[in-house]
Structures are given as C-alpha cells and as structure tokens.
Amino acid sequence: MSGAVTIRDAVPGDAALLTQFVRALAEYERLLHEMCATEADLSRALFGSTPRAWALFAECGGQPVGFALWFYTFSSFAAKPGLYVEDVFVVPEHRGRGIGRMIFRDLARRALDEGCLRMEWWVLNWNAPAIGFYRSIGARPVDDWTVQRLDGAALREFAG
C-alpha cells in the first residue's frame, strides 16, 4: 500500500478498530494474556460523558496503519499538565516509513497546544527498535524513578 499518510482523531464509530489495534499491540508486546479491554470499555473510556483518554489513527490510502492512545497527567511541582502516551503501534509492514515519527510529532504538537510541560511513556526493556527510535527523536530515559504498581487483588485488599 502506498500513498500519503494522514493522521485523524478517533471518533465513536472507531471503537472496534481501536480494539483491533490494542489487540495487535498486546500481541506484539507478548502481553495478550493481559488484554481484557472490550470494544464497549474503550468506547466508554474515549467517547463517554467524561473521556479518560484520546486516540488517533494514521492512515495510508484511507486504510488504518497505526494508532496512538494518550491521556493527560499533571505535575504539581510545575502546575502544568503532561501528555502520557499509553500506546503507539504501527503495523509491521508499514514500519520504517516515518509513520511513528509522524504520530509522535502530532502528539508533541498537541502537548504544546494544551500547555503541557512534557510527554512521557513507558517502553519494554527488550524493545530495542522502539528504544532506538525514541532516542532518535530526542527522548531520554528517566532512570532515577522506579514505576510502582498496585493492581488486582492487592488493590482491592488495600482499598478494603
């Protein structure tokens, strides 16, 4: 598939497509066993009365070839928002064409337009191609912090 790549915001009718992309990402990251999101869950989170996240699609010749999903964080030290990139995925046959760079540039512009202090995301340690790409756009690791997670039974027990 050749042609110009365009970026468009996800709309309520895209919930099924979004679910397909999330599943493809989960497979790529070897985390499909953790995916429990449904089309209805994603629709509610992105298009419900109180959106919790936003998404976009990269299209080539009108066909979706990539997506991103993000939400906003907040820095109390700076009293400014941040844009947290939850997911970015480009289908394998379209990698190496600058689509990931286009997606990240779009997100960077959104972050600046929203007055965000920064963009942040996680990357799996084994994902050398992604890490190399992130370095190429000027991203740097934040090694002074360790991610902490409270979920599942531990979350329920602690909230108890």
Please indicate whether residue 28 is annotated as part of the active site. no
| Structure tokens given for 4 | 């110009």
Q: Up-side HSE of residue 139: CA atoms within 13 Å toward CB? A: 21
Q: Which of 28, 72, 84, 134 is catalytic?
A: 134
DSSP state of 32: G
What Cα–Cα distance (Å) separates residue 114 from each residue in 72, 101, 109, 136? 10, 20, 9, 24
d(CA 150, CA 71): 19
Q: Cβ neighbours of residue 15 under 8 Å, at least 6 residues apart?
A: 39, 40, 42, 43, 46, 47
Which residues are the active-site residues?
A: 134
